[in-house]
Amino acid sequence: MKRHFVSALAATLALAVASAAGARDDQAPLANEAKISKEKAQAIALKRAPGTVESSELEREKGTLVYSFDIRTGKGITEVLVSAIDGHVVNVHKETAAKEAAEKKKEAKEKKPVAKKPAPR
């Protein structure tokens, strides 16, 4: 019985590690294209909007590879996009509370698996 528990625990742990690695693998191809580090981009973003970085990601925005930083400032959330190629600031905009909530809802929906409907008879 103890051996079955250990086996189940090991399998669960292996699955969790594989899932975490898969999340990092999504950005691996983009990271290979980046010419500046995330740390350097973050320093550039924080000069433009001093505060605390709430979240960050490497993404392609309108064909441009950028680091996107959501920074909590004294006036709310400011999103700063920094080019991952040369480090220039691509865009800065303040997010309203309503827009921030809508974005979180959209992201949650994208992560949620879609249930397939049964085929009509």
Number of H helices, E strands in the chain: 4, 4
Per domain, the residue ranges of the chain are 1-33, 35-106
The topology under which CATH files domain 35-106 is: Nuclear Transport Factor 2; Chain: A, (3.10.450)
Cα torsion through 26, 94, 61, 23, rounded to 10? 0
Burial state string for 66-98 with b = 16 or more CB within 10 A and e = fewer than 16: bbbbbbeeeeebbbbbbbbeeeebbeeeeeeee
pLDDT at residue 109 tops 70: yes
Q: Which residue has the higher pLDDT, 24 or 35?
A: 35
At 77-103, the pLDDT tens digits run 999 999 999 999 999 999 877 777 787
**Mean pLDDT, the chain, as a whole number?**
78
Give the CB-side neighbour count of residue 109, counting CA atoms within 13 A: 6
Threshold 0.85, pTM exceeds: no
Average pLDDT over every residue of 23-44: 83
pLDDT band at 117 (very low <50, low <70, confident <90, very high): low
